[in-house]
């Protein structure tokens, strides 16, 4: 813990210069309040268009946003998706909108009780490359990683681009082995703002995130 | 987002808070255990809501997980005139919410068209300004949206996106006075620490006119029912605008900007607008000619001690009780009907906790064996405004204040 604290404050110190002393002197333990937000309970249901919903909708909100809606027509869903794109900045390509509207219109009622309980951490299992599920990983990514690494993993999230050094571009990791990446997610990366996630994510969740990160380079939007 | 911060100081604060949030959450804090006990189905299509205990909350009805939108189970409103903090509804617009706040570094800034910009810690607020308390109802503009007929898009709430609390804090007016407004000050804009996830999403901002912001009871609150605010209700500071819909009650408030023009940011224009007519309503399919920002709440009442669909024992003296509230004129009377609105009888009002609070009411009625009854309550405020006998409709599902009905049967 001491090592972590030291490297953490080193980063803060580099970023904030003169504020360093004030922070180190402060009794953070007494004045800090924190919570841990639950991760998304479930992702979109199988069917044609699922991939689009799992790629774009859950950037900003969990899938239950859709399943609590009353049935809407395809036309209404199209309006809603266009609002998400034009007003809220959803990076969905135009040629996916019709397909997504059709998918959303056809969603069946979910028995939410069968989909919860959500995110009760699983007992630690072994880390292993190739055992993760990219769809599950995306939901975790959207909750924990996106602010630094960005919507498309290019290290351009709202926080990531302010960091020194900036957040890593995850679309160009071809040379790194799975084991190296797992270690970085698990233990953090000294000298950067990348924290250790092993306290927050189960080993299986970390595998899911790796699976998603490996898919990032192939998913950039067409400009 | 960066353009909202005119000085590097505030922006650095944001960065610091976020980094501390990320750093501490990674330092061995255990992930949340969200326990599910059961679910409940609201009486409209796709109304099933699981009960999940979010941090600092008892199990509440989850409408959405991220950003969190949690509804208060209705029986809670029968327990007490004040809604317990751990049962108080939760509604965020943006998913990028800090997961930790350090009061050593947290500051509320007041800037813009002021002679003296301020940067205040929570301690500064508590020590340098007079504390003020007000009992007030906080109700989502879209409370009860799930009952819209025809249905509309948006958060599909039952009636539980509301709560009543004793708020304690400092008068916004006192803060503005200390900052010394320039003569051209026109609107006051409020920002919290929540941020969008996608680059293109407008940050959540709300504005009040200088007149509305200067009202006696508009507070920057640091306590709710005698405790610091729950994290999910806006710790450490929340704007409290008694009588106004909750969209104005900005959570995790950290920035107050004095503007010399009318604010047209997305969340005021076009979002959160209602048709500019007396009822704020339209016929389904009709387009509004003109829209105005939503503002004060319409008078409402609810029966809280009897559940819709209940089978009851026939008795000559059956207690019926509930709550009523309005925008702050205060409740004048609440009437009860057990025959579908043909006859109405007066009820007794409970203790008065102030014009912005829930007001409890109760009466006794005779229920005969083997009958069906439709129970309805109707509140009238002190300027004679009453609830709508039939629900009005608008495309956003705002402002519902219909007389609600519950059906009961008695055993033969």
**Domains identified in chain B, total number:** 2
Q: pLDDT of A153-171, one tens digit each?
A: 888 876 777 777 788 989 8
Q: Which residues of A touch B29 (CB under 8 A)?
A: 34, 36, 199-200
| Chain A residues within 8 A of B232 when measuring between CB atoms | 35
CATH of the domain at B94: 3.90.420.10
Residue B222 pLDDT more than 50? yes
- Percent of chain A past pLDDT 90, that is, above it, reads 23
Q: What ipTM score was computed for the predicted complex, to two decimals?
A: 0.87
Q: What is the pLDDT of residue A217?
A: 64
Cβ–Cβ contacts within 10 Å for residue B286, how many? Answer: 12
Question: Over 70: is that where the pLDDT of B208 sits?
Answer: yes
- CATH class, range A134-218: mainly alpha
Is residue B279, in this structure, part of any structural domain at all? no
CB-CB: which of A68, A162, A196 is closest to B46?
A68
Torsion of CA A199, A202, A205, A209, to 10 degrees: 40
Q: Which residue has the tokens 């009871």?
A: B217
Mark out the alpha helices in chain A (DSSP H runs): 2-16, 19-25, 28-31, 50-52, 58-60, 64-67, 74-86, 97-105, 112-115, 134-144, 146-149, 178-187, 203-215
Mean pLDDT calculated for residue range B355-372? 97
- Chain A residue with CA closest to B202: the answer is A88
Q: Which residues of A touch B235 (CB under 8 A)?
A: 33
> For residue A99, is pLDDT > 60?
yes
Of B271, B289, B313, the position where a domain reaches its end is B271
Q: What is the pLDDT of residue A14?
A: 38
User: Per the structure block, which two tokens stand in for A223?
Assistant: 């400009």
Domain ranges of chain A: 2-31, 50-115, 134-218
Average pLDDT over residues B11-15: 30
Domain with B341 in it: 300-410
Shortest Cα distance from B82 to chain A (angstroms)?
24
Chain A nearest C-alpha distance from B374 (Å)? 27
For the stretch A104-156, pLDDT in tens is 999 887 755 445 544 333 333 345 556 777 777 877 887 788 878 877 788 88
Alpha carbons B272 and B291: distance in angstroms, whole number: 10
CA distance A191 to A164: 9
Instruction: Give the residue from A23, A24, A34 with the most B CB atoms within 10 Å of its CB, the best one to mutate.
Output: A34
Residue of B239, B240, B243 whose CA lies nearest to B299: B243
Q: Which two tokens stand for residue A79?
A: 């309006």
pLDDT tens sequence across B289-304: 999 999 999 999 999 9
Q: Which of A68, A109, A150, A195 to mutate to test the interface with B (most CBs of B within 10 A)?
A: A68
The string of DSSP letters for A51-107 reads: HHIIIIIHHHS-THHHHTSPP--HHHHHHHHHHHHHTT-----GGGHHHHHHHHHTP
The string of pLDDT tens digits covering residues B106-146 is 999 999 999 999 999 999 999 999 999 999 999 999 999 99
Domain limit, last residue, from B271, B286, B308: B271
Which of A22, A68, A80 shows the shortest C-beta gap to B63? A68
The distance of Cα B288 from the centroid of its chain, to the nearest Å, equals: 25
Residue A44's pLDDT is 84
User: Which residues of chain B does A69 touch, with a Cβ-Cβ cutoff of 8 Å?
Assistant: 46, 153, 156
Residue A12: C-alpha distances to residues A18, A33, A208, B59 (Å): 10, 19, 30, 37
Give the CATH number for residue B342.
2.60.40.650
The alpha carbon of residue B285 is apart from the nearest alpha carbon of chain A, in Å, by 13
| Best of B46, B230, B231, B270 to mutate (most A CBs within 10 Å, chain A) | B46
Q: A109 is written with which tokens?
A: 């009622």
Please classify residue A129 by burial: count the beta carbons closer than 10 Å to its beta carbon, then call 0-12 exposed, 13-18 middle and 19+ buried.
middle
Interface contact flag, A199 B26, Cβ < 8 Å: yes
How many of the other CB atoms lie within 10 Å of CB of B411? Answer: 11
pLDDT at B174: 98
Fold classification of A50-115 (topology level): Cytochrome Bc1 Complex; Chain D, domain 2 (1.10.760)
| Residue A219 pLDDT > 60 | no
Residue found under tokens 């919570």: A35
């Amino acid at each position: 813990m001491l090592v972590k604290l030291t490297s953490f404050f080193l980063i803060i110190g580099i970023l904030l210069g003169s504020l360093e002393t004030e922070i180190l002197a402060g009794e953070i333990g007494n004045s800090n309040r924190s919570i841990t937000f639950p991760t998304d309970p479930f992702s979109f249901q199988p069917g044609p268009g699922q991939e689009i919903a799992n790629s774009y909708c859950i950037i900003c909100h969990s899938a239950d946003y859709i399943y609590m809606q009353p049935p809407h027509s395809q036309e209404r869903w199209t309006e809603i998706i266009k609002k998400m794109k034009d007003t809220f900045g959803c990076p969905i390509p135009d040629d996916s909108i019709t397909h997504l509207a059709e998918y959303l219109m056809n969603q069946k009622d979910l028995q939410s009780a069968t989909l919860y309980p959500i995110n009760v951490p699983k007992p630690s299992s072994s880390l292993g490359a190739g055992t993760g599920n990219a769809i599950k990983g995306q939901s975790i990514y959207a909750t924990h990683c996106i602010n630094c690494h960005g919507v498309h993993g290019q290290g351009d999230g709202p926080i990531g681009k302010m960091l020194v050094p900036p957040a890593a571009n995850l679309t160009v990791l071809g040379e790194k082995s799975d084991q190296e990446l797992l270690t970085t997610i698990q233990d953090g990366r000294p000298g950067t703002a990348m924290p250790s996630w092993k306290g927050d994510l189960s080993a299986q969740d970390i595998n899911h995130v790796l699976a998603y990160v490996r898919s990032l380079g192939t998913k950039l939007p067409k400009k | 987002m960066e353009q909202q911060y005119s000085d590097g100081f505030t922006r650095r604060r944001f960065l610091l808070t976020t980094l501390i949030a990320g750093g501490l959450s990674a330092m061995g804090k255990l992930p949340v255990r969200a326990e599910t006990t059961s679910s409940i189905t609201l009486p409209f299509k796709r109304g099933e809501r699981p009960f999940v205990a979010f941090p600092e909350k008892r199990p509440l009805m989850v409408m959405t997980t991220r950003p969190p939108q949690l509804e208060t189970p209705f029986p809670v409103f029968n327990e007490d005139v004040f809604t317990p903090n751990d049962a108080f509804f939760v509604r965020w617009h943006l998913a990028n919410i800090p997961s930790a706040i350090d009061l050593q570094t947290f500051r509320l800034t007041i800037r813009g068209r002021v002679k003296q910009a301020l940067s205040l810690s929570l301690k500064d607020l508590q020590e340098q300004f007079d504390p003020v308390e007000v009992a007030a109802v906080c109700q989502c503009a879209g409370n009860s949206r799930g009952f819209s007929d025809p249905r509309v898009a948006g958060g599909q709430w039952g009636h539980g996106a509301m709560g009543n609390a004793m708020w304690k804090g400092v008068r916004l007016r006192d803060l503005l006075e200390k900052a010394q407004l320039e003569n051209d000050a026109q609107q006051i804009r409020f920002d919290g620490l929540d941020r969008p996830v996608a680059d293109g999403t407008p940050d959540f901002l709300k504005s009040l006119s200088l007149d509305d912001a200067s009202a006696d009871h508009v507070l920057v609150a640091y306590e709710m029912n005698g405790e610091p605010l729950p994290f999910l209700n806006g710790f450490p500071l929340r704007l409290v605008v008694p009588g106004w819909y909750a969209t104005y009650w900005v959570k995790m408030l950290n920035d107050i900007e004095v503007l010399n023009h009318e604010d047209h940011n997305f969340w005021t224009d076009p979002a959160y607008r209602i048709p500019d007519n007396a009822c704020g309503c339209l016929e389904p399919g009709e387009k509004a000619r003109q829209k105005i920002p939503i503002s004060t709440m319409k008078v409402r009442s609810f029966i809280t001690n009897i559940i819709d669909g209940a089978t009851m024992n026939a008795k000559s003296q059956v207690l019926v009780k509930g709550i009523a509230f309005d925008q702050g004129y205060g409740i004048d009377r609440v009437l009860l009907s057990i025959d579908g609105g043909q006859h109405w009888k007066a009820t007794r009002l409970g203790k008065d906790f102030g014009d912005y609070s829930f007001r409890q009411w109760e009466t006794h009625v005779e229920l005969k064996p083997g009958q069906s009854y439709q129970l309805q309550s109707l509140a009238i405020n002190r300027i004679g405004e009453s609830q709508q006998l039939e629900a009005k409709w608008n495309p956003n599902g705002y402002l519902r204040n219909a007389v609600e009905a519950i059906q009961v049967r008695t055993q033969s």
